[in-house]
């Protein structure tokens, strides 16, 4: 927060508190307001007249107590712009303390399951470990892959056996730990629009879809020249590069003619964020076991 906005917040906050306090005392100074009267403020609504009487003493004292409490709170805790309070408390600091405490309490629990392999965690006797992995998946991964891991447009389905980088436990763990950066180059300017549509026809033919045979024949040579290096000559993909298999009719960005053409024309840039700085190795191990279980039920 800049010095200007810090001063702005501080001045406005204190002005409201002291202004209300002054108003309260100012309206109690008059002698006629020290005793209860039958005088009214001179107007009524719906047959109800408002008496011109002071606040009850207990109400007044509660207001004063609230002001004192508020000023004390603002002195001890953050609330006046950039002033951190005399106690030095912060929500971030408290969160770190709670996380450290949780780490100390639950570390032995995670260590117990970390000693088991991903394959061993699939055993029904270790169901508790998989449930822990499921809850951590829900907190960290479901926003992209869905609560059941079935994926969404641009986010892989984790419940099938179609893997961009491979579905072995070590590969899954590497993906979660370090993330992935997928890159599909844009070929629109190289191929031209006719070439894009020809290659699209050929790509769709690899998964058995009905296409224009003449267009697919023209697109095959262009595919071999530009695309086979990543997707292989047969279009079966390459785990080392994260290049998808084009022969199984499973599509990350949609498998219609126009969707595939858009991918070829403009390229794609998928990013899987790294979680090594967010989660401990033991937690990543349990999430790996859960993800592995989704496609090996």
The tens digit of pLDDT for each residue in 145-181 reads: 999 999 999 999 999 999 999 999 999 999 999 999 9
Average pLDDT estimate for 199-210: 96
- Distance, in Å, from the CA atom of 264 to the CA atom of 255, rounded to the nearest integer, reads 12
- Supply the pLDDT for residue 37: 62
Residue 162, domain CATH: 1.10.760.10
pTM of the shown model: 0.73
101 Rama class: left (phi>0) / alpha (psi -120 to 50) / beta: alpha
SS3 108: helix
| 149 occurs within a structural domain | yes
| 8 occurs within a structural domain | yes
Question: Per-residue pLDDT tens for 44-78?
Answer: 788 888 777 777 888 889 999 999 999 999 999 99
Same domain, 126 and 64: no
Q: Let me know if 175 is exposed, middle or buried by CB neighbors in 10 A (0-12, 13-18, 19+).
A: buried
How many residues belong to the chain? 297
Q: Residue written as tokens 């190289």?
A: 190
| 88 occurs within a structural domain | no
Average pLDDT estimate for 122-138: 94
Average pLDDT estimate for 269-292: 95
List alpha helices for 3-122, DSSP H: 3-26, 57-76, 91-114
Nearest to 243 by CA among 261, 221, 270: 270
- Distance, in Å, from the CA atom of 19 to the CA atom of 259, rounded to the nearest integer, reads 63
Number of domains forming the structure of the chain: 3
- Distance, in Å, from the CA atom of 167 to the CA atom of 146, rounded to the nearest integer, reads 18
DSSP letter for 244, please: P
- Supply the pLDDT for residue 178: 97
Nearest to 251 by CA among 217, 208, 207: 207
Residues annotated within a binding site for heme c: 141, 144-145, 184, 227, 230-231, 272
Residue 29 CB neighbours (<10 A)? 8
Same domain, 12 and 44: yes
| 175 occurs within a structural domain | yes
| 21 occurs within a structural domain | yes
| 41 occurs within a structural domain | yes
Give the β-pairing of 271-272 and 40-45: unpaired
How far is the CA of 181 from the CAs of 241, 273, 277, 290, 292, in angstroms? Answer: 10, 8, 17, 22, 21
* pLDDT confidence bin for 36, thresholds 50/70/90: low
Same domain, 48 and 106: no
> Please, what is the end-to-end C-alpha distance for the chain in angstroms?
51
Same domain, 136 and 282: yes
**Is the separation of the CB atoms in 200 and 219 below 8 Å?**
yes
What domain range includes position 66? 3-76
Domain end call among 76, 104, 121: 76
| 81 occurs within a structural domain | no
Residue 127 has which token pair? 């169901």
Same domain, 9 and 71: yes
The count of C-alpha atoms lying within 13 angstroms of the C-alpha of 156, restricted to the half-sphere facing its C-beta, is 24
Phi, psi of 276 (to 5 degrees): -65, -25
| 167 occurs within a structural domain | yes
Residues annotated within a binding site: 141, 144-145, 184, 227, 230-231, 272
Same domain, 145 and 288: yes
**At 290, which helix (H) or strand (E)?**
helix 281-294
Nearest to 254 by CA among 195, 223, 209: 209
Same domain, 35 and 172: no
Same domain, 159 and 196: no
């Amino acid at each position: 927060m800049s010095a200007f906005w810090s001063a702005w917040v501080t001045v406005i906050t204190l002005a409201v508190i002291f202004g209300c306090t002054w108003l309260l005392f100012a309206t109690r100074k008059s002698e006629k307001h020290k005793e209860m009267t039958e005088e009214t403020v001179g107007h009524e609504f719906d047959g109800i007249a408002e008496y011109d009487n002071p606040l009850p003493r207990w109400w007044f004292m509660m207001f004063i107590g609230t002001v004192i409490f508020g000023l004390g709170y603002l002195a001890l805790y953050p609330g006046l712009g950039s002033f951190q309070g005399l106690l030095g408390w912060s929500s971030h600091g408290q969160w770190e303390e709670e996380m450290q405490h949780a780490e100390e309490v639950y570390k032995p629990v995670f260590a117990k399951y970390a000693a088991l392999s991903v394959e061993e965690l699939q055993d029904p006797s270790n169901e508790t470990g998989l449930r822990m992995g499921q809850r951590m998946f829900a907190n960290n991964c479901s926003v992209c892959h869905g609560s059941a891991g079935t994926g969404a447009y641009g986010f892989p389905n984790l419940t099938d056996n179609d893997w961009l980088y491979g579905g072995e436990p070590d590969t899954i763990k590497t993906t979660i730990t370090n993330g992935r950066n997928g890159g599909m180059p844009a070929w629109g300017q190289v191929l031209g629009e006719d070439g894009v549509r020809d290659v699209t026809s050929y790509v769709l033919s690899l998964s058995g879809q009905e296409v224009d045979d003449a267009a697919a024949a023209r697109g095959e040579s262009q595919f071999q020249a530009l695309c086979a290096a990543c997707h292989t000559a047969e279009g079966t993909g390459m785990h080392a590069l994260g290049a998808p298999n084009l022969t199984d009719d499973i599509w990350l960005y949609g498998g219609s003619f126009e969707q595939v053409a858009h991918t070829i024309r403009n390229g794609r840039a998928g990013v899987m964020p790294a979680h090594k700085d967010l989660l401990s190795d033991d937690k990543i191990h349990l999430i790996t076991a859960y993800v592995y279980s989704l496609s090996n039920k």
